[in-house]
Amino acid sequence: MITAILVMVAIAVVTGLVLGWSAIRFKVEGNPLAEKIDAILPQTQCGQCGFPGCRPYAEAIAKGEADINQCPPGGEEGVKKLAELLGVEPKPLDETHGTPKPKSVAFIDEQTCIGCTLCIQACPVDAISGAAKQMHTIIAVECTGCELCLPPCPVDCITMVPIAEDLPHWKWKHPVVMLKQVSGEARA
C-alpha cells in the first residue's frame, strides 16, 4: 500500500519536474497562431479592420476578440483561408469595414503638393519620400494602397490609381468551357 503511494508520488514529482523544466526550456515567444494568421493577412496595414495594422488584428483574432471577416483587402479568399486555418465556417465579409477594391497605388500630384510631410507621417510602410517644403513622391513598388495618406493631405493632392494590367502582370483567365447541352430527351 505504502509502496504504491510512494511510487505514485515519485512519478508525480518526476513528471512535475520534467514538465516544469520543459515549460521554461521550450517556452515559445509570442503567439504562434497570431504569426500564422498574420502570414495570411495582406499586410496593407490599412486599419480598416479597426486595429492599427495587420499584426494587432492577427493577435485579436488569435485571442478571439475579432472576427475573421473584417479585412476587405484580403477579400473573400482571405476569409476562406483564415476559416481553414482556424477550423471555423467561412462567412461573408463584414460590409461595415469596407468592401474590396481593385489593387491601387497612391499618386501624388506634384504640382499641387506643398511639402507638408503629413502623408509621410501617415504612411504605415514608409513608401513616401520627401521632406518639409520639398515635393513628395510615392515609391510605387512599396505602396500597399492602404489610402491612409489621403485624409491628412491638406490640399487633396493624392489620388489612388488602380494598377493597370500590363504584360508582366497579365494572367491567364479561367478557361470558359462550352459545355455541351444534354438534351431533355436524353436526360429523361
Partner 1 sequence: MSRELFKFKGGVHPPEHKAESNTRPVHAAPLPKKLVIPLRQHIGNPAKPVVEVGDRVLKGQLIGAADGYISAAVHASSSGIVSAIGPAVVPHVSGLPDECITLSTDGLDEWIVHAPLDYRAMEPSDLRMRLRDLGIAGLGGAVFPSAVKLDPGATHSCPTLILNGGECEPWITCDDVLMRTRADDILQGVAVMRHLLGSTEILIGIEDNKPEAIAAMQAAAQKMDYAIEVVAVPAIYPGGGAKQLIKTLTGREVPSGKLSTDIGIQVFNVGTAYALARAVHHGEPLISRLVTVTGHVLRPQNMEVLIGTPMHTLITLAGDRDGTTGVLMGGPMMGMPMPDLDVPVVKATNCILVKSRDLFPPLPAALPCIRCTRCADACPAELQPQELFRFAKTGDFGRAQEYHLFDCIECGCCSYVCPSHIPLVDFYRYAKSEIWAREKEKRAADLARERHEFRQFRLEREKKEKAEKLAAKAQAKRAELAAAPATEGPAQTDADAKKALIAAALARAQAKKAEVAPKNVDHLPPEKQREIEEIEARRAKIRELARQPLETDEKKS
Alpha-carbon separation of residue 77 from 14, 36, 95, 100, 142 (angstroms) = 48, 16, 15, 11, 23
Question: Does the footprint of partner 1 cover residue 45 (CB under 8 A)?
Answer: yes
User: In the complex, what is the shortest distance from the CB of residue 174 to partner 1, in angstroms, rounded to a whole number?
Assistant: 5
Report yes or no: 42 and 74 within 8 Å, Cβ to Cβ.
yes
Q: In 3-state terms, what secondary structure has residue 105?
A: strand
Site for partner 1 in 144-173 (CB under 8 A): 144, 165-167, 169-173
Q: Does 78 bind partner 1 (CB under 8 A)?
A: no
Estimate the crossing angle of helix 32-40 against helix 54-63, to 10 degrees.
130
Instruction: Count CB-CB contacts under 10 A for residue 124.
Output: 17
Helix axes 32-40, 75-86, angle to 10 degrees: 160
Residue 89 within binding range of partner 1, rule CB under 8 A: no
Convert residues 48-77 into a mask of x (bound to partner 1 by CB under 8 A) and - (unbound).
-----xxx----------------------
Is 132 a residue that touches partner 1 (CB under 8 A)? Answer: no
Q: Least distance to partner 1 from the beta carbon of 67, Å?
A: 21
* Contact set with partner 1 (CB under 8 A): 38, 41-45, 53-55, 124-127, 142, 144, 165-167, 169-175, 177-180
